[in-house]
Structure 1
C-alpha cells in the first residue's frame, strides 16, 4: 500500500507494520502502584487519558471531515523529514481526534523511493487528486541528480492544485523556492543552509532563526526534527490547541520547544565562503571580551558599514550584532558546562556588560538561562 515502509537487509525485503497503538496511561508495577491501582488487571489500568478520550468523542459526534495530507518525497530524501510529521498527523487522527486526517506519500513518478538511509517507501504518483495539505520533504540536495529540481517543480505545481496549504521540511524549502512559492514570503530551512537559500533565492525572506514559519498558505520548517514542530502547528490550526498539545504528549516532544534554531547551530564552527567574512569571524573569536561594534568589524573587513552588513548577512544568515551575541553566548555556554566559574566572571570574560545581559542573550539563543544550562549539564 502507498506509504508502507520497506527495508532491505541481506537481500530480504522487510515490510513495515502499523504501529497506531491505542493511547495508554503509564501505570507503575504492582510494587509501585498506589492503592487505587493494586488489584487491577493490566488491561484495566491501560486506558486512554480522559481528556484525549473527550477530544475523540467530541470530534466523532461533530462528524468533522478528514483532511487529506500528501507528503512529496524523492530519491535520497531524509527519512525523518517524512516520518516525523507523518507520525504527528497519524497520531492526531488515530489517537486524539478520530478520523481527522488521511495520509499518503507521493513522488514525481510513483513507485518505490529509497531514502538516504536505504529505507524504501512505496509511493503514489503525483496527480490531479486534490489534497488539503501538501508537504515537501528535504534531504542532501548536493547528492541529487541535476534534473531533480525541474521534476520536483512540476510535481509540486501539480500536487498543490486545490490545496489549502503547502509546507516544506528542512531543505524542502529549496524546492518550494524553485517553484516560485517563496517569492516575497517568510521562510526557513535547516540553519546550515539558511544563508544559501537566501543567496540562491533572493526574493524569499529567509529567517534562519525560526523553527517554522507561516506566511499565508505557505509553511516552512527548520531541519529534520523541526518537521514535527511544523505538523503540531498545523494540527493546532486545524483542531485547536488541546488536540495539538495532546498529540505532542503522545509523541513525547515539546508542544512548543524553547528557543530558536540557533541553540542547535554553531557560529563558532561556521566557515563562510568569503575570506573576508572568515577573517571577521576569527577576529570576533579572538577578541570576544572587547567591544565589537558594526563600525569596528567593518574596518576589520575593509568595507563600509553598510556594505559589510549586507555581505556578512549573505554569508552567514545573521546580522553582525546577532552573530556577536551568539558567539559570546556559545563561548559562555562552553565555560558554564566545563567548569565552576561564576556566571558574573564568565559574562565579563565573553564581553557581556553584565550577567543580566548574558541571561537575556541565553534566553534568546538557547531558550534557557545560564543557571539552567549549568544545572542541566551537571545532571547529565
Structure 2
C-alpha cells in the first residue's frame, strides 16, 4: 500500500482531533485548544452523551519529539506521519522551530499537502501555524489570520493570501486560522459551539474562566509602529514629537524643526519609514494615549489633551479607526488598579 493512500477511520461517535505541536516555544498554542476539547468531553459525559472528541497531540517528525522552551521536552504518542485515516479536525499549532533544520519537516509538509476536505473536515492553525498551511499549499486565495506581529511577513511570503490580523480567528470554507497564542482557545471554543451548540460552549468557557466571545480584536495588542521604529529618522523624530505632543504638529512645523523643506521632508520620511508624517504623528499620539490609559488614572479629557487629540471624542474616533476599541474599553481591558477587589496585596506588611 502506498503511503499517500488514506484508510477510512472506524465509525465512532467521537470526533478525532489531531493537534500538531510544531514547536513547544509557546505550549499554550497546542495545550490551550486541547484543554477546550477535553473539557467539552467532561460536560458531554455528565450529560449522559457518548459523544465528544478523541484528542491527540502529535509530533510533526518521525522521532515523535517536540522541544519546548518551558524546561521540558515532549515525547508524543504518535507522529502525524503515521496517521493515514480520516480526521475530523486537524490543528497546526505554531510553526517549525528555527533551531531545527528545515529539511526534517519536509515529510510533514508533504503529508499535510494531501489533507483535503475529503479526508479532513476542518483544517486549522494557531498563531504562526498559518505559515505551515501556506507552505503546504492549502490556503491560496483564502482569507486568513495569524499573530499580529507576523502580518507583513505572511503577506509578503505568500501574496496569494488575504491576510487580516485584526480578528482572533477566521473561517474560510473548511479552513480555520487563529491569531496569537491564546487565540487558539477562542478558535477551539468556536468549534465546540459549531459541533455541540452554544450552551455547551458557554459551560466550557466558564469552566476555563475565559470569554466565549472575547471582546475586541488583535489590533489592540500590537504596536502601531513596529516597522517604522527601525528607522533612525523616526526614532529621532519620535522623541521630539513626544515632547510637543499637545501642540499643533503639521508637516511644516516638523520640517522646520529638521531644517528641511516640507516637500523634501515628506518625501524622505515616507521613503525611509513607509508612512506619511501625519500618520506617524497620529500613531505616536495613540501609543502615548495607550500608555497613559494603562499606567495612570488620568481622565480621558486630560489624556486627550496631553496627547494632542484636543477632545475625548476625537481620541475615541481615532482609537476606533486604528484599534477597533474605545479608550474606555481599552482601559478596562488593560488596566487593573493594584487595590482593585480581588487583587492580592502586593506590598509587604510592615
Q: Same fold (TM over 0.5)?
A: yes
For structure 2, the 5+ residue unaligned runs are 1-11, 256-261, 344-350
Offset of residue 149 of structure 1: 5.0
For structure 1, the 5+ residue unaligned runs are 1-63, 313-318
Aligned twin of 2:346: none
Offset of residue 94 of structure 1: 2.3
Offset of residue 298 of structure 1: 9.5
Aligned twin of 1:119: 73
8 A contact 2:190–2:201 mirrored in 1: yes
Offset of residue 232 of structure 1: 0.8
- With 93-102 and 258-267 compared, the bigger mean Cα shift is at 93-102
Distance 1:240 1:282 in 2: 54
Is 1:242–2:199 an aligned residue pair? yes
- With 123-132 and 224-233 compared, the bigger mean Cα shift is at 123-132
Listed one character per residue, the Cα deviations across residues 27-72 of structure 1 (whole Å, up to 9, x for unaligned) are: xxxxxxxxxxxxxxxxxxxxxxxxxxxxxxxxxxxxx932211112
Q: 1:370 aligns with which of 308, 323, 328?
A: 328
- Provide closer, same or farther for how the CA distance between residues 75 and 256 of structure 1 changes in structure 2, counting only shifts above 3 A: closer
Offset of residue 325 of structure 1: 5.5
Distance 1:271 1:103 in 2: 39
- Provide closer, same or farther for how the CA distance between residues 134 and 271 of structure 1 changes in structure 2, counting only shifts above 3 A: same
Return the TM-score normalized by structure 1.
0.68
Aligned twin of 1:65: 13
Q: 1:136 aligns with which of 65, 88, 92?
A: 92
Distance 2:239 2:139 in 1: 35
Distance 1:132 1:298 in 2: 58
Aligned twin of 1:187: 144
- Provide closer, same or farther for how the CA distance between residues 300 and 104 of structure 1 changes in structure 2, counting only shifts above 3 A: farther
- Provide closer, same or farther for how the CA distance between residues 103 and 341 of structure 1 changes in structure 2, counting only shifts above 3 A: closer
Aligned twin of 1:334: 291
Distance 1:182 1:228 in 2: 21
Listed one character per residue, the Cα deviations across residues 92-127 of structure 1 (whole Å, up to 9, x for unaligned) are: 122247422111222344453223232314132323
Aligned twin of 2:305: 348
Distance 1:124 1:322 in 2: 50
8 A contact 2:59–2:76 mirrored in 1: no
Please give the root-mean-square deviation of Cα atoms over the aligned residues, in Å. Answer: 3.5
Helix, strand or coil at the partner of 1:132? strand
Task: Tell me the number of residue pairs that the alignment of Structure 1 and Structure 2 aligns.
Answer: 304
